[in-house]
Amino acid sequence: MLTATGIGLYVVWPSLAAVFSSGPQLKTVNPLWGIPIVLAEVASFACMWALLRLALDVKPWFPIATAQLAGNAFSRIVPGGAAAGGAMQFDMLRQAGIGTAWAATSVTAVSLISTATLLGLPVISIIAILITGASVEHNLFRVGSIAVVVCLAATAGGAVLLFADRPLLWLGGVTERARNRLLRKRPPLHGLADHLVDQRDLIRRVLGAGWWKALLYAAGNWLLDLTVLLIALAAVGAQPRASVVLLAYVVAAFLGMIPITPGGLGFVEAGLVGTLGLAGIGADQALLATLVYRLASYWMPMPMGAVAFVLAGRKYGRPRPERK
């Protein structure tokens, strides 16, 4: 894993270095833009805490927030960090007194609904590209209204998938056939559509009557993070079409799931700069906007996670391996 990480960083290092080289240009950005950027990113994390709190059926915010912050920070430090960060989050929840089996089921359901929401964003962005040419302006109300519209669309789509089998069966069938045609040398995949329905049913069982809140929280988590990118673009003076920026954001989010480097470090920067260029943004503005966005979404949560780990350790003790 360390070897793969080293190779991955070597491949993306030029793009990563180019983004960091725009650091001196940060002095051209009005520092007041940092206020809405930080608030939007904190609100994005708060949506994830609310989603976990709803799934776990736990009233206190402290154990949920500290476990998620620490696990998220750890996943951005170690190679293949998603699994390691999830394990740390699970152990901290268990140490806080949350049942092991229920924590595992709930965290899995939260991961599924969050990923499903992200998967739906490309469809929404393509529709938005065809319908509107709205640009990012130096107007926070305009930026926020774009995110709200996308959030409502994502919530409506999620509600349909939670209660209708046909769209999931169709999607699973199409995906399964495409995969089997592209990878003919591998054993054919079967039962994907039924598996999607089973996973959806797990989400619905965990969320219960609070399903509509979960959809809003999941959409808010991604869309508030997108808002950080929109504000960063406005801060550097770029005015691309917001619908195309949404597509660029989705590409970057998927690249962030690549387990080769921690948190997709380097891959996200390379993909975001490239796709922002396709959105009509100049190279200098794309590099600077990417740097501002990643400072808020990637680097800032790390010290927050360390503080959360220490605070949780003082209150609940350090996580210990579960005895069998």
- What secondary structure does DSSP assign to 253-308, as a single string? HHHTT-TTSGGGTTHHHHHHHHHHHHTT--HHHHHHHHHHHHIIIIITHHHHHHHH
- Residue 170 in domain: yes
- Is the C-alpha dihedral spanning 29, 33, 37, 39 positive or negative? positive
What is the Cα–Cα distance from 135 to 307, expressed in whole angstroms? 38
Q: Whole domain around residue 215: which residue ranges? A: 2-20+36-316
User: Is 29 contained in some domain?
Assistant: no
Would residue 27 count as lying in a domain? Answer: no
String of DSSP letters for 218-252: HHHHHHHHHHHHHHHHHHTT---BHHHHHHHHHHH
The pLDDT score that the predictor gives to residue 296 is 93
Amino acid at 321: P
Task: In whole angstroms, give the CA distance from residue 58 to residue 153.
Answer: 28
Give domain status of residue 72, yes or no: yes
- What string of pLDDT tens digits covers the 324 residues of the chain? 677 777 777 777 888 888 889 989 999 999 999 999 999 999 999 999 998 888 888 888 999 999 999 998 988 887 666 777 878 888 888 888 887 666 777 777 777 777 777 776 666 655 555 555 555 544 445 555 555 666 566 666 666 666 667 766 776 677 777 777 777 777 877 777 776 677 667 666 766 667 778 888 888 888 889 889 988 988 988 877 666 777 788 888 888 777 778 878 888 888 888 888 877 788 889 999 999 999 999 999 999 999 999 999 888 876 665 555
Q: How far apart are CA 318 and CA 66, in angstroms?
A: 13
- Position 309 in a domain: yes
Q: What's the DSSP call for residue 317?
A: -
Q: Positive or negative, the Cα torsion across 20, 22, 25, 31?
A: negative
Give the Cβ contact number of residue 208 at 10 Å. Answer: 11
Residue 323 lies in a domain: no
322 in a domain, yes or no? no
* CB-based contact 245:279 (threshold 8 Å): yes
What is the domain count for the chain?
1
25 occurs within a structural domain: no
| Structure confidence at residue 138 (pLDDT) | 47
CA dist., res. 209 & res. 213, Å (int): 9
Whether the predicted model's global pTM rises above the 0.75 cut: yes
**Which DSSP letter does residue 187 get?**
P
pLDDT of residue 76: 84
Contact by Cβ (8 Å): 232, 275 = no
What pLDDT, on a 0 to 100 scale, did the predictor assign at position 176?
73
